[in-house]
Amino acid sequence: MAFPPEHEIHKRRFGRNVGVAVTLGLFIVLVFALTVVKVTRGDPMQGFDHSVRPELAVEGASE
The residue ranges that bind other proteins (CB under 8 A) are 4, 7, 9-10, 12-13, 15-16, 18-20, 30, 33-34, 36-37, 41
Q: Which is closer to other proteins, CB of 43 or CB of 63? A: 43
Least Å distance, CB 51 to other proteins, is 25
CA dihedral sign, ordered 11, 14, 18, 20:
positive
**What is the dihedral angle through the alpha carbons of 16, 19, 23, 25, rounded to the nearest 10 degrees?**
110
Least Å distance, CB 5 to other proteins, is 12
Q: How far apart are CA 42 and CA 58, in angstroms?
A: 17
Q: Which is closer to other proteins, CB of 29 or CB of 57? A: 29
